[in-house]
Amino acid sequence: MKANVAVTRRIPRNGIELLRGECDRVEVNPNERSLTQAEFLAMIAGRDGVLTELINRIDDEAFDAAGPRCKVFANCAVGFNNVDLAAANRRGIVITNTPDVLTETTADLAWALIMASARRIVESDTFLRSGQWDGWGPMQFHGHDVHGATLGIIGAGRIGTATARRSIGFDMKVLYYDASGMANAELDRLGGRQVGLDELLAESDFVSLHVPLTDQTHHMIGQAELARMKPTAHLINTSRGPVIDEAALVSALGDHVIAGAGLDVFEKEPAITPGLTDLDNVVCLPHIGSASGATRAKMAELAATNLLAVLKGQRPPTPVNPEVLDR
């Protein structure tokens, strides 16, 4: 197939090989970093399709840079808050993402953060490595039990449901809230109870966020919401950083309004709100929710498959804006 494709960040080899097996030109960002916006716009010029990462801003400026030949932007991520969908729809450009394949791996990481925050794992490890530990003591590093506790799931989609499913082995009570107001049959079968946001915040020992970033979810957890939580509660975020007002969280953790937090995403990543990493009661990870070798390979394959399908005039497996295909 005569196609000219850009890959804006190096992805696992299987995705690149899939593209190179079908396209006569595939250019991959050679840097071990994200492109600047200027570099991004230069790289995508004159392409038939572009495989992107979540940090790339895909809007009218990008569509103008890519030019009239470009038919598809394939995000190698489940999120697509970096895309101006209205602009894509006006131009008839297909946007795709990689849902489903990272659900279980991200839910695993949510649980890693639950356990690490509850049992003060990182704080304890740092203490030991610093040479301060002089032996076992009955008052050292008291944390919070996970078994028998209440898990609150905000966002009862695929990843939220998978996270809740793992609570069975810990004999936890599950509460869930979804802005759509729709009940989740699987969570109901697990004994979960659908509640309002205020009730979930007030009753949960662990609050885990699993919502997309939209105008409605931006800063959905701020000072007022943190104040409604138990002083012994932990906040977990593997969704999108701007869902939390990070400055409010720094204050809440520092003042012990809540006991702890586990974060894989940040409001202005890679920048971190001042004071956050100075706190002992927060676990901070560099956005590794889907970072297992097997899952990242599946994401690369799906992103490449989506891109190739559009270039062949076929329907991609996971379009974000299927209305463009249905015209």
- Please list the active-site residues: 240, 269, 287
> Which residue in the block uniquely carries the two structure tokens 């990462």?
53
Phi, then psi, of 43 in degrees rounded to 5: -70, -30
Question: In a 3-state reduction of DSSP, which class is residue 165?
Answer: helix
Q: What's the DSSP call for residue 232?
A: T
How crowded is residue 135: how many other Cβ atoms within 10 Å of its Cβ? 5
Residue whose structure tokens are 């996270």:
163
DSSP state of 221: B
Q: Which two tokens stand for residue 205?
A: 């020992």
Phi-psi label, residue 255: left if phi above 0, alpha if psi -120 to 50, beta otherwise: alpha
Q: Tell me how far the alpha carbon of residue 297 is from its chain's centroid.
A: 17
Structure tokens at 109: 């990481």
Q: Residue 132: left if φ>0, alpha if ψ -120 to 50, beta else—which one?
A: alpha
